[in-house]
Amino acid sequence: MSSKIQPVSITAYTATTACGVGRSALLQALTNRQTGLRPNDFGPSPLPTYIGRVQGLEEQALPEAWSVHECRNNRLAWLGLNADNFLEQAKAAVARYGADRVGLLLATSTASIGASEEAYSRLTEDKRFPEDLRRSTVHHPHSLGDFLGRVLGTRGPCLTTATACSSSAKVFAQAERLLRLGVIDAAIVGGVDTLCGSVLFGFNALELVSPEPCRPCDPARRGINLGEAAGFALLERDGAPDAPRLLGWGESSDAHHMSTPHPEGLGARLAIEAALARAGLSADQVDYINMHGTASQKNDEVEAGLIARMFPATTRASSTKGWMGHTLGAAGIVEAVICLLALEAGLAPGCLNSQSLDPVCGPQIRLDNEHAPLRIALSNSFGFGGNNASLVFQRGQV
């Protein structure tokens, strides 16, 4: 059994998605139930699906000083890092604690593989990458960490986690462990993933891509929509009383199948139970659950059934992937930010695009937005390979 941990303050956070740049755009989209999904127009041969594409990313090149890191993923990282004054707040933390005492814990599932795809599509006659893409900085899995470490000037632990859809939820757990053990005094955590051919055609080959806007928990759901996003948070031991807190985290592995969840949600249950134990809470104290809720047949069936068995009817739950799609390695932090916005605004979003609920769903899962005072939120991220992560957040004092 996991033991209760000391809460960690979240002193800054931001997210950039298909709904717009920064927290205000995301909260406005959630409040007004405006989706960022649109018909797929990505790449030379777009699949018949919908995507969550960040508007105008192609026109926003990196500053000249960082041009050696130029690629779609790092462009989105730069755009997201500058939203909500996050870059300034992160640099202030580095100055406050010292570069060696700040960890940089990042997540991505594809890194800058889109740049490598482009390089292979434009091989020269002698089978070499084109000259403009002969940059080793963008052709390795740690491309994101390498870029942001230089931008932020951190010299503490710098890790890239790639565990598919749970990646940027796990960075919160890593940060809490490093803070608790005294390795660091602050952590900059984040996740960035961009659209590319590998994920669009890969998920399509698995017959998981929906030809219409995704409908989480709807009995007529037809699969996922892929999206792209960047999100960041600054974690410190102490913060202002009105700063939200990370209360608990849980991680587990299904050890069941490469792409299908355990049929009874065993691993997911273990992750949720561990997160609640570290938070020192019981299930009936959770006000809102942001589900992994991909709109695939198995994920929603297993997760909805688990929530129905574990939580009371008073707990609200929903998937928010109808707003920006499944952002893979960035999904964990985007949905953590949605939880923090929900706590701050007293807004429990419903399941966008869904018309009715699968019979397996309990009364916890809602279709419509609801306004209510929310104190505790739980965020679930359940990835391929059966790796699971759950996070518990508490609203700051008001």
What are the catalytic residues? 165, 292, 326
Q: How far apart are CA 131 and CA 138, in angstroms?
A: 13
From residue 84, give the alpha-carbon distance in Å to each of 23, 81, 361, 388: 7, 8, 36, 29
Q: How far apart are CA 121 and CA 116, in angstroms?
A: 9
DSSP-derived pairing of the beta strands 229-236 and 186-193? antiparallel
- What would the two tokens of residue 298 be? 């198995």
From residue 222, give the alpha-carbon distance in Å to each of 119, 212, 252: 33, 8, 28
288 CA to centre of own chain? 17
Are 204 and 344 within 8 A, CB to CB? no
The residue written with tokens 């948070």 in the block is: 233
Q: Is the dihedral of CA 50, 335, 206, 115 positive or negative?
A: positive
Are 315 and 284 within 8 A, CB to CB? yes
- How far does the chain reach from its first CA to its final CA, in angstroms? 32
Structural element, H or E, at residue 227: strand 226-227
Structural element, H or E, at residue 187: strand 186-193
